[in-house]
Structure 1
Amino acid sequence: MKTLKFLITLVFISLNISVSSQNREVKIEVTKITEQFYMLKGQGGNIGLFIGEDAIFMIDDQFAPLTPKILEAIKKITPQKVDYLINTHWHGDHTGGNENMAKEGALIVAHENVRKRMSKESTRRGRKIPASPKEALPVITFDKDVTFHINGDDILATHIHNAHTDGDALVYFANNNVLHTGDSYFQTGFPYIDLTSGGSIDGYISGIEKMIMLVDDETKIVPGHGTVSSKKDLEEYLVMLRTLKNRVEAEIKKGKTLEEVKKNTNITKGYESKSWWITSERIRETIFRSLNKQ
């Protein structure tokens, strides 16, 4: 029994050391997009920061342990505290710092499905995710759209139906001409479509189409993960998604099984460079399951 307790203690200590070391190594990189808008990269989804005399407006907040570093980076940009925080969806790498930011005085806004999913225990990728504490939940929610009129700009937060999840929001700054997409656009490669959270390939395609309608050739596009992009990047991404969907649909019409589609590298031929955490096999499987509702 003593040996077992000792081993458990060692594992617990090593995990804590690993997490602590990881947090120490994370650096918050700041990129100035316009005179008022900044992108902050660390560990998790890209953060947007909109500054001005009226208020400080923040998009997403990564993981809770990173909040001190994020706040330190923000202080180098502006001495003002964050007034509004909008979550682009419910995943922890975008909402993990909510409770900390609320304690700092930020008012949290999100689509109503974000609050619903954060309010209850769930399972994602085989891992149980506990319900978020009350302090981390959005206090203002919307169904379709909500507009903020601050700092001389009109900020539109608009819902995308069943794209990355069922609670996705695009955030568009009209006068600054900046669009923050959350994870409804992955500049890094194949998209992560969270089927267990209401995501779908059709919704993801519709979301990219909506983005293209919102932007012009001069718009700076901040993806959920990756680097600042352009309208042309979105258009190329849309072609890829439509191509992959059509190829998987063709296989389904032939009566091919999930396993056959997963192994069929011809479906993702020409897009091998887009394979990352979401591998070529995984995107084939995801699209198959989405179209077959499996």
Structure 2
Amino acid sequence: MKFLKIITFIVFFTTVSIGFAQKKEVQINVTKVSDHIYMLVGQGGNIAISVGEDGVFMIDDQFAHLTPKILDAIKSVTNQPVEFLINTHWHGDHTGGNENMQKEGAIIVAHENVRKRMSMEQFNKEREITKEAAPKEALPVITFSKDVSFFFNNESIFIFHVHEAHTDGDAMVYFTESNVLHTGDAYFQGKYPYIDLNSGGSVEGYIAAIKKALLVINDATKIIPGHRNMSNKAELQSYVKMLEELKTAVITEIKAGKTEEDVAKNTTLTKKYDDLNYGDWFISSERIRRTFYKSLQKVH
């Protein structure tokens, strides 16, 4: 029994040590996207900042423990303060630093459903976890129901809601003069998307969101996805084609009377894109098949 306790302690200590080491090792990498737009990559959702005489206009803020590193990264390109912080949706890897940024003086803006979801305890049935409501200091203080525009750093910034996509509170941010689009998690570059059905997301809405983005941008637009690498219109067009092909395949299975388990086990449905490594990241090929089945079964 004593030996078991010692082993348990060693495993616990090692796990905690690795956790702290991973936090310590996270670096915030800064990439210049245009004359005054930068992309910040660390741990969590990709951040974008607009830098200019009006200050810093920021999109998403990753996790709370990274705020000091993120602020240092911002200071490497400007001494201006963060005036506005836009949350593209409510998930913690995009809003975890909200309270810290509010204390720094940032005004937090998001779709009204972001504030609603952050304000209440969240239970995710799929992962069987409970998330406590965010403190008042972390909540958006300005919300919008559809679209909103800012005029900041000598350009107009168009923020538009995409309904029932990754969640029910997603927003994309388009810097019109810089021709840069931040999609939030309505686009996972090169990998299957996480469609959060428990937060109002849907396959139909996700596809519609990308099609809406394609109407806004052009061939020269630089795209900052919610996760992974900078992208462009051609890649986004290929991505929506992938989603539509999977949608068609799964609907065919549903109409043939197949169950969720049948679809989950049918690797041929996603093989084309599995071979292109779409399923070797956060969302596996089995999980995307289950997600598509659950979402599409409701409407077909």
- Following superposition, the deviation at residue 91 of structure 1 comes to 0.3
- 2:140 aligns with 138
Equivalent positions of 1:85-104 (< 5 A) are 85-104=85-104
Measure the CA separation in 1 of the matches of 2:151 and 2:79: 21
Structure-2 separation of matches of 1:236 and 1:81: 38
Whether 1:224 aligns to 2:220 is: no
- What is the root-mean-square deviation of aligned Cα atoms in Å? 2.0
1:279 corresponds to which residue? Answer: 284
**Partner-residue secondary structure (3-state), 2:184:** strand
Q: CA deviation at 1:18?
A: 3.4
Q: Give CA deviations for 1:205-243 in whole Å, capped at 9, x if unaligned.
A: 000101100100000000000111110001000110000
Report how far residue 54 of structure 1 moved. Answer: 1.2
In structure 2, C-alpha distance between the alignment counterparts of 1:34 and 1:84, rounded to whole Å:
19
Indicate which of 264, 267, 272 corresponds to 1:265. Answer: 267
CA contact (8 A) 1:99 1:136 kept: yes
Structure 2 counterparts to residues 170-181 of structure 1, below 5 A: 170-181=172-183
Match of 2:62 in 1: 62
CA distance in 2, matches of 1:99, 1:293: 37
Q: Give the drift of 1:248.
A: 0.1
Moved runs in structure 1, 4+ residues, more than 2 A?
3-20
Unaligned runs of 5+ in 2: none
Which residue of the other structure, out of 273, 286, 294, is the alignment partner of 1:289? 294
- 261-270 vs 242-251, greater mean Cα deviation: 261-270
Please report how far the alpha carbon of residue 14 of structure 1 lies from its aligned counterpart in structure 2 after TM superposition.
5.5
Confirm or deny: 8 A CA contact 1:188 1:225 kept in the other structure: no
Aligned residue-pair number: 293
Is 2:195 the counterpart of 1:193?
yes
Cα 1:134–1:10, aligned 2, differ >3 Å: closer, same or farther?
farther
1:292–1:104 Cα change, 3 Å = same
| 1:48 paired residue number | 48
1:77-100 deviation line (CA, Å, top 9, x unaligned):
101110100000000000000000
Letter in 2 for 1:257: T
Deviation per CA, 1:169-204: give whole Å up to 9, x if none.
000000000000000000040010000000000000
Q: Identity over the aligned pairs, expressed in percent?
A: 59
How far 1:21 sits from its partner (Å)?
A: 1.4
Letter in 2 for 1:110: A
- Unpaired segments of 5 or more residues in structure 1? none
Question: Using the alignment, how far apart are the partners of 1:120 and 1:76 within structure 2?
Answer: 36
Q: Shift in Å at residue 266 of structure 1?
A: 1.3
Q: Alpha-carbon deviation of 1:117?
A: 0.3
In 2, distance between residues paired with 1:88 and 1:7?
43
Q: State whether residues 160 and 203 of structure 1, in contact with CA within 8 Å, keep that contact through their aligned partners in structure 2.
A: yes
How far residue 7 of structure 1 moved from its aligned partner, in angstroms, is 9.7
TM-score (normalised: structure 1): 0.95
Q: 1:15 to 1:97 in 2, by over 3 A?
A: farther
